[in-house]
Structure 1
Amino acid sequence: MSEGGGAISLQEYSGGSGLINSEKAELLEVKRRVDLTVAVRLRRAAIVVSWLSVLFGFTQGVTAVVYASKLSSDTLFGFGLNAILDSTSSIVVLWRFHSKDLYSESREQKACLIIAILFVVSSTSLLIMTILTLVKENKEKQLVTLSILSLVNGCSNLVLGIVKCGIGYKLESKSLMNDSVITFVGAVISFSAFLATDLYEHNSSLWYIDNVFGVGCSLFLYLFAITLFYQFCSRGSSVQS
Structure 2
Amino acid sequence: MPNFLFSLYLSGLLESSTRLKPHEAQNYRKKALWVSWFSIIVTLALAVAAFTVSVMRYSASAFGFAFDAILDVLSSAIVLWRYSNAAAVHSAHREYIACVILGVIFLLSSVCIVVKAIHDLSTKLLPEVDDFLFSVSILSGILCSILAVLKFMLGKVLTSRALITDGFNSLVGGVMGFSILLSAEVFKHNSAVWYLDGSIGVLIGLTIFAYGVKLLIDMVPRVRQTRHYEMFE
Q: TM-score range, shorter-chain basis?
A: 0.7 to 0.9
1:164 to 151, 163, 173: 151
The Cα offsets for residues 47-101 of structure 1, whole Å up to 9 and x where unpaired, read as 0000011111111111101110101011100000110111011111100101122
> Are 1:203 and 2:190 an aligned pair?
yes
2:172 to 173, 178, 185: 185
Structure 2: gaps (5+ residues): 1-12, 229-233
**Aligned mates of 1:142, 1:164 — CA distance in 2:** 30
Answer whether contact 1:86 1:183 (CA < 8 A) is retained.
yes
| CA radius of gyration, larger in | 1
**Aligned mates of 2:156, 2:25 — CA distance in 1:** 11
**Aligned mates of 1:236, 1:55 — CA distance in 2:** 30
Secondary structure of 2:18's counterpart equals: coil
Q: CA RMSD in A?
A: 2.3
**Aligned mates of 1:54, 1:143 — CA distance in 2:** 25
Structure 1: gaps (5+ residues): 1-27
Read off the aligned partner of 2:61 and give its amino acid letter.
T
Residue in 2 that maps onto 1:65: 51
**Aligned mates of 1:114, 1:193 — CA distance in 2:** 28
Answer whether contact 2:72 2:170 (CA < 8 A) is retained.
yes
Shift of 1:140: 2.9
Residue in 2 that maps onto 1:54: 40
Answer whether contact 1:49 1:164 (CA < 8 A) is retained.
yes
Answer whether contact 2:96 2:223 (CA < 8 A) is retained.
no
Give the total of aligned pairs.
216
Higher helix content, 1 or 2 = 2
- Normalised by the length of structure 1, the TM-score is 0.83
**Aligned mates of 2:127, 2:115 — CA distance in 1:** 17
**Aligned mates of 2:147, 2:197 — CA distance in 1:** 22
The Cα offsets for residues 178-217 of structure 1, whole Å up to 9 and x where unpaired, read as 1111111111111111111111121122222122111111
State the identity as a percent. 30
1:226 to 205, 209, 213: 213
Shift of 1:239: 5.7
Read off the aligned partner of 2:38 and give its amino acid letter.
L
1:1-241 pair list within 5 angstroms: 32-99=18-85, 100-236=87-223, 238=225
Answer whether contact 2:127 2:183 (CA < 8 A) is retained.
no
The Cα offsets for residues 92-131 of structure 1, whole Å up to 9 and x where unpaired, read as 1100101122201121011101111110122111111111
Secondary structure of 2:88's counterpart equals: coil
**Aligned mates of 1:239, 1:102 — CA distance in 2:** 15
Residue in 1 that maps onto 2:6: none
Answer whether contact 1:33 1:172 (CA < 8 A) is retained.
no
**Aligned mates of 1:57, 1:141 — CA distance in 2:** 22
Distance 1:114 1:139, change over 3 A: same
Larger RCO (CA within 8 A; separation ≥ 6): 2
The Cα offsets for residues 29-56 of structure 1, whole Å up to 9 and x where unpaired, read as x763333222211111000000011111
Answer whether contact 1:143 1:197 (CA < 8 A) is retained.
no
Distance 1:102 1:240, change over 3 A: closer
- Normalised by the length of structure 2, the TM-score is 0.85
**Aligned mates of 2:187, 2:131 — CA distance in 1:** 12
